[in-house]
Structure 1
Amino acid sequence: MNADAIPEVCSGEELRQFDFWLGEWQVADTAGVVLGANVITRVANGCGVLEHWTSESSGNEGMSLNWYDRSIGRWTQVWVGSGFNLTLTGGFEGGRMVLSGQRETDKGVVVDRITWIPLEDGRVRQLWDVSKNGGATWEAAFDGMYTRVMK
């Protein structure tokens, strides 16, 4: 690929749909208890979004790489962290990013659905729901509020 073509390939409205998530964040649960820190940056000449999570209590870390695949018109996230990995796909719908995917566990297939909601005050709410019956019913696995770290 011609190096001059990279900026053009990595530009466009679709590639900016996750921009609301960029930055350095403190993440808390619904009771306001701080769970950890998350740093979200653009990588690969703007073609990808890199997440670096650090847990407040355990120090465990996780990372995800997110990108918009023009060939399928969808976003993909690959997460690797303490205990498990996720591969999710989806898109920006109704003012929010929704990604989902399946993973095998020792108890069967689990469907994960993660939703990022940009709020008017600049915070981001992240909801992670899981289904153990193919999406017929859902349970909340995580409900977190991202607040920007001011420097």
Structure 2
Amino acid sequence: MMTSTNKRKANHNAIQLSRRFIWLIGLFFVNQIYAATPKPCTTDEYRQFDFWIGEWEVKNASGKTVGHNKIFPVMNGCALSENWTSARGNSGVSYNFYDQAEKKWHQTWVDQNGGVLYLDGSLDNNKMVLKGYRPDKEGKQVLHKISWTPMKDGRVKQHWQSSTDEGKAWTEVFVGFYSKK
């Protein structure tokens, strides 16, 4: 026969066992929810600009080296960091990232002389095309368009153009061919 003390101990043990069981069930469901939640920045859109990742030697159309660029993923793959050094020693950096809410890519560029460029766009026919306005030295708005195209031989072509008439006529600013080091 059980004494009242033994009954209390048995009830206490049963309650503790029930609490542990409920806690384990809760932990199981939390793990299931966490496992089902997609990791940030892993959808295909975030990988659209991955063809630009690498350490590159950059040459102009005549084959002369104009600089070196290193592009690598940062923030758990949520952005790309660009680190440019020209053959003359000038440098600049950019962050490139996909904004899921806006469904477009952004680039924020700054160079050692304070030059800034903000571009937005998307992948278009297998090339990344980003555009943005920036005032020139006289304060007139200039539209900049830069495209990056992966080539069959593994290189990437960068084509930078500008326009002072809303894109009716374009002036070539830079054409570079990226070759992996």
TM-score using structure 2 length: 0.77
Gaps of 5+ in 2: 1-33
Counterparts of 1:73-112 in structure 2 under 5 Å?
73-83=103-113, 84-107=115-138, 108-112=140-144
Counterparts of 1:118-137 in structure 2 under 5 Å?
118-137=150-169
Distance (whole Å) between structure 2 residues aligned to residue 49 and residue 7 of structure 1: 20
Q: Does 1:148 align with 2:171?
A: no
Q: CA RMSD in A?
A: 1.6
Distance (whole Å) between structure 1 residues aligned to residue 52 and residue 66 of structure 2: 17
Structure 1 residue runs of 4+, over 4 Å off? 4-7
Distance (whole Å) between structure 2 residues aligned to residue 33 and residue 55 of structure 1: 12
Offset of residue 129 of structure 1: 0.4
Paired positions, count: 145
User: In the alignment, residue 49 of structure 1 is paired with which amino acid?
Assistant: L
Offset of residue 74 of structure 1: 0.1
Who is 1:54 aligned against? 85
Gaps of 5+ in 1: none
Which structure would you say has the larger RCO, counting Cα contacts within 8 Å and 6 or more residues apart? 1
Counterparts of 1:32-71 in structure 2 under 5 Å?
32-57=63-88, 59-71=89-101
Q: Which has the higher strand share?
A: 1
TM-score using structure 1 length: 0.92
Distance (whole Å) between structure 1 residues aligned to residue 169 and residue 156 of structure 2: 25
Q: Secondary structure at the match of 2:149?
A: strand
Report sequence identity in percent: 42
